[in-house]
Structure 1
Amino acid sequence: MRLALLASTFALALPPVAFATVWTYPAPAEEFRSPAYTVRVTQDGRTQESFVYHHAHQDEHLRDRGTDFNHWTTFSFAGPITVEVARLSGPADGGEILPLARGLMPSVSGHTLTFTLDRPEKLYIRFPGADEDPLFIFADPPEEGIPDRADPQVIWFEAGKVHDIGEKFTIKSGQTVYIPGGAYVKGSITAENASDITVRGRGILSGLGYARRPGTAGIPFNTVMFNGSGDRQLIEGITVTNPTHFCLLSRGRLTTRHVKLFGWWHQTDGWGGGDGSIIEDSFLKVNDDSVKLYGRDQIARRLVIWQQVNGAPFQLGWGGAGQRATNCLVEDIDLIANEAADKTARETNQAFLNLRRQSSDSVIDGVTLRRIRIDTDVPMLLGFIETKGRVRNILLDEVTVRGVQRGKNFLRTEGDGRIEGITLRQVSINGRILTAADEGLWSTTGDVTAIRFDPAAP
């Protein structure tokens, strides 16, 4: 079966459906079709259906704290389009589109919600009474850099089919894995000390059918795991769902864009990369840390995040020697849901920017978060605990929380640990800019210098 997956043995792939500049993709299997929604895309008077997937929650113990299902569709386009969402089991009245900052105002008629787009977006369509069945619209830009399937360095999966590559399917330097829209690939991909490697397409890479792999022993089984050193690594466009451990992790220099990451179990973290890595224009709904900032010169920008009950949207470290975020930038982030907003009874790892169990030789220096928009309540914005090393020069700039902060920000050092240089500039919660008078929102212990509040733009 695995040999049949090599590019040289594939039959011709089913092409995506394209009218003008809209591309939709074939269904890999009817069992994945959503029973709750249909989506149609219209451009220049031509309409086509975009297949809507659905997957059920994998962890019965967590199901009461999260959604029962994920529903999503992916298509690519250029130029103005009209999107029609039909809710098959209820009226569309009251439906809204998140992130709220996009300002997309739909029209509603009966069971159908309609809106227009003129640029790529990662959207959540929220219907009253459908909290357990969220629908996500992934409107991607046209694909670029589609590889030549005749190239012996290209591993090409056929669209409209389900493939099973097994766990730890290994690629080497110079190879490209292409998962086109409509291809559903089960298994995981790994590489060792590899450069000039790519995993791309508009298809799906899934751990469905494989057992959960908890703890550090599960790391080699991350859905994509690039171990060791490596440069010019790219993951673009794919959807990862039902991972058995983390979604995407590289120890090298990784560029990631236009990915969509779903996870159910604890320890299904979203993304991590080595020094100089970037994630941008992506969506994450995972059940541990969404983005790990553990290295130098890392960038996370233009992300839409649904934070589930476990983990933090942005994590600076969780024990070990890998806590050295330096000159890192997080910008233009939309947090559209936070299932852990009520977890304030004890200080764990639910802060928007979080740090736990810092080692004494760790230095975290220069982390900027700017233009952060939060459409929900949060437990806390900052949470640094068991800080044994140095944390300095943390800037939160233009952060808007539409809901409330339910708990206290906590900053705690141990031993010779020190936290200094934390600045909040134009940070507002529930319509009000935070100032030094909001000391009730803070809890500090140990060597922590005074927090600077700057209500005005620089």
Structure 2
Amino acid sequence: MNRFFTTMALCLATLSVSASDRLVTAKAPAGIELKHDFEVKARTPNDEWRSIDTYAFKVDRVADAKHNVEITSVAKFEFEGKVEVQVKSIAQDIRSFKVRPDSYGIKARQEGNTLTFSLDRPRYISVEINGNIYQNLQLFADNILEKPKVKKKTDLMYFGPGVHDFKGDSIHIPSGKTVFIDNGAVIKGWLSTYGSHDVKILGHGIVMPGHHEGIMVRYSKNILIDGPLTTQLPIGGSDSVTVRNAKVMSWYGWGDGFNIFASANVYQEHLFARTSDDCSTIYCTRKNYHGGCRNITIKDCVYWADVAHPIMIGLHSETPEDEVIDNVLYDGIEILEHAENQIDYQGCIGINNGDNIMVKNVTFQNFNIDNIRRGMLFNIRVCYNKKYCSAPGRGIQNITLRNIAYRGSAPNMGIIAGYDQSRMVKNVRFENLTINGKLISDDMPGKPRWYKTADMANIYVNDHVEGLTFSK
């Protein structure tokens, strides 16, 4: 009898686990360009395989000082629990492969030209065959989002499966509205919350306006965005904005990803950006948005900068406003690529401070940075970039860089520099910085006592920096 009840309990436990595994797929709308470099399938454990369409997306390859369009593959689905994924390479035989970010530890099994791996949580990953980073597969394995219930039908703007062609024009989202973009929907236009409050934009569909920002939060308050894939998603002149599970991909000049301009109380989590300019920025007065930035939290993101910086803070304002960027946290960031030929615009982590801005109380922690093709790890400067600024910045203070790990070939020399004795960089603290497994600290073994610790990390430090430390 005890054996019977034990068996029943195990069966019920198995049923309970399998009942939590769920997969939701959606066909690409008719008329949307697909790419056939890969065949992608997914299934819950022991279920039937389901085919996943692969969209053709544009990305940027800079060569000969020009933007060159490459066509890459994007596949997406929603799931809960566990899911198995199968990726078959059609365009080329597999001699080698990567599933990145490396730190996720996704172990793929290869059989011929087919890779199989499992996921137990939403992930944004790149599958690369034979080192090809342009004709790769971006796989967006997302959480499940259901069509929301609202009090009145008029409160919901629903974009169901299919193409919604607004000819690239703006769609204004009024206050109090909930927008739901079905996973099988593509909007040819861009969404704007100009002057609105209490707005939700939900769903894993695509907003594809062409050479334009896809979703713009402008002069708004109490905004939630959860799920969409678009070109750019800037926030300007706004307060209390949350962005989760969003993906951006751009290919044109100045195609930044997630901009924050003159805004406060912004929370971003679980994002992906592959961009033709900076992935994530925090600026003050710019593009008719006025003011500083305060209380910004950005967590669990994957950044891929085909041009410029993965992260850029400071630079833009209007003198003599004396604006401040204060209380910023980047936590749990994966940087897959950084490629920039111009020295002034290099830096996986960049604070380039101009226009009388003060940048203070910023923490970068739990970073994994892959091999840098062209660029540097850190570029922290009070500077006067005459192309964009009318004055140098006022200073950079209280910057913590904790648990930063770089794995790759030697990048260009980094830089930490103040402008003069009145516009300095003060109190920059590195804690547990590792470069190819070597811990950089003030008491590290093998460091000659007359060396600066920054020399061991290949970082130039000028005379207008004080309070720089490296600890375990």
- TM-score normalised to structure 2 length: 0.82
C-alpha separation between the residues in 1 aligned to 2:81 and 2:437?
A: 35
What displacement does 1:148 show? 4.8
The residue type equivalent to 1:262 in the other structure is: M
1:282 is aligned, of 267, 271, 280, to 271
Secondary structure at 1:143 match in 2: coil
Q: 1:379/1:62 Cα in 2 relative to 1: closer, same or farther (>3 Å)?
A: same
1:307 corresponding residue in structure 2: 305
The answer (yes or no) to whether the contact 1:291–1:314 under 8 Å persists in 2 is: yes
The answer (yes or no) to whether the contact 1:260–1:284 under 8 Å persists in 2 is: yes
The answer (yes or no) to whether the contact 1:92–1:109 under 8 Å persists in 2 is: no
C-alpha separation between the residues in 1 aligned to 2:215 and 2:64?
A: 24
2:369 corresponding residue in structure 1: 374
C-alpha separation between the residues in 2 aligned to 1:142 and 1:55?
A: 23
C-alpha separation between the residues in 2 aligned to 1:62 and 1:188?
A: 32
The residue type equivalent to 2:327 in the other structure is: N
Secondary structure at 2:193 match in 1: strand
Cα deviation digits, residues 127-180 of structure 1 (max 9, x gap): 105332021111111115634597102111121334326422211111122211
The residue type equivalent to 1:234 in the other structure is: L
Q: 1:60/1:66 Cα in 2 relative to 1: closer, same or farther (>3 Å)?
A: closer
C-alpha separation between the residues in 2 aligned to 1:297 and 1:156?
A: 32
Matched, 1:27 2:28: yes
Secondary structure at 2:347 match in 1: coil
Secondary structure at 1:142 match in 2: coil
C-alpha separation between the residues in 2 aligned to 1:149 and 1:264?
A: 40
1:409 corresponding residue in structure 2: 415
The answer (yes or no) to whether the contact 2:58–2:250 under 8 Å persists in 1 is: no
Cα deviation digits, residues 282-312 of structure 1 (max 9, x gap): 10001222112341110111001111123x1
C-alpha separation between the residues in 2 aligned to 1:309 and 1:353?
A: 14
C-alpha separation between the residues in 2 aligned to 1:370 and 1:67?
A: 33
1:335 corresponding residue in structure 2: 335
1:265 corresponding residue in structure 2: 252
What displacement does 1:398 show? 0.4
1:425 is aligned, of 427, 431, 440, to 431
Q: 1:145/1:350 Cα in 2 relative to 1: closer, same or farther (>3 Å)?
A: farther
What displacement does 1:115 show? 0.3
2:396 corresponding residue in structure 1: 391
Instruction: Extract unaligned runs of 5+ from structure 2.
Output: 1-19, 284-292, 385-391, 442-451
Instruction: Extract unaligned runs of 5+ from structure 1.
Output: 1-18, 213-220
The residue type equivalent to 1:38 in the other structure is: E
1:350 corresponding residue in structure 2: 346
Identity %: 20
The residue type equivalent to 1:32 in the other structure is: E
C-alpha separation between the residues in 2 aligned to 1:118 and 1:298?
A: 29
Secondary structure at 2:344 match in 1: coil
2:11 corresponding residue in structure 1: none
The residue type equivalent to 2:230 in the other structure is: V
**Mean Cα displacement is larger for which, 391-400 or 285-294?**
285-294
The answer (yes or no) to whether the contact 2:279–2:310 under 8 Å persists in 1 is: yes
Secondary structure at 1:426 match in 2: strand
Cα deviation digits, residues 201-259 of structure 1 (max 9, x gap): 11100123xxx4xxxxxxxx63222222x322011100003xxxx43323212100101
Q: 1:49/1:30 Cα in 2 relative to 1: closer, same or farther (>3 Å)?
A: farther
1:8 corresponding residue in structure 2: none
Q: State the number of aligned residues.
A: 416
Secondary structure at 1:425 match in 2: strand
2:233 corresponding residue in structure 1: 247
C-alpha separation between the residues in 2 aligned to 1:181 and 1:330?
A: 29
* Matching of residues 10-409 of structure 1 within 5 Å: 21-43=22-44, 44-57=46-59, 68-144=70-146, 146-148=148-150, 151-164=153-166, 166-208=168-210, 212=211, 222-228=213-219, 230-241=220-231, 246-252=232-238, 253-273=240-260, 274-294=263-283, 295-310=293-308, 312-321=309-318, 324-340=324-340, 343=341, 347-360=343-356, 362-377=357-372, 378-384=375-381, 385-386=383-384, 387-403=392-408, 404-409=410-415
Q: 1:129/1:327 Cα in 2 relative to 1: closer, same or farther (>3 Å)?
A: closer
Secondary structure at 2:466 match in 1: coil
C-alpha separation between the residues in 1 aligned to 2:120 and 2:62?
A: 39
What displacement does 1:450 show? 4.0
2:444 corresponding residue in structure 1: none
What displacement does 1:415 show? 7.2
Q: Whose Rg is larger?
A: 2
The answer (yes or no) to whether the contact 1:223–1:240 under 8 Å persists in 2 is: yes
The answer (yes or no) to whether the contact 2:190–2:207 under 8 Å persists in 1 is: yes
Cα deviation digits, residues 248-279 of structure 1 (max 9, x gap): 32321210010110011221111134211011
The answer (yes or no) to whether the contact 1:59–1:265 under 8 Å persists in 2 is: no
- TM-score normalised to structure 1 length: 0.84
Secondary structure at 2:49 match in 1: strand
Q: 1:58/1:65 Cα in 2 relative to 1: closer, same or farther (>3 Å)?
A: closer
The answer (yes or no) to whether the contact 2:89–2:113 under 8 Å persists in 1 is: yes
1:215 corresponding residue in structure 2: none
Q: 1:31/1:153 Cα in 2 relative to 1: closer, same or farther (>3 Å)?
A: closer
Matched, 1:439 2:455: yes
Secondary structure at 1:297 match in 2: strand
The answer (yes or no) to whether the contact 2:183–2:204 under 8 Å persists in 1 is: yes
The residue type equivalent to 1:248 in the other structure is: P
What displacement does 1:57 show? 4.4
What displacement does 1:74 show? 1.1
The answer (yes or no) to whether the contact 2:60–2:67 under 8 Å persists in 1 is: no
The answer (yes or no) to whether the contact 1:405–1:429 under 8 Å persists in 2 is: no
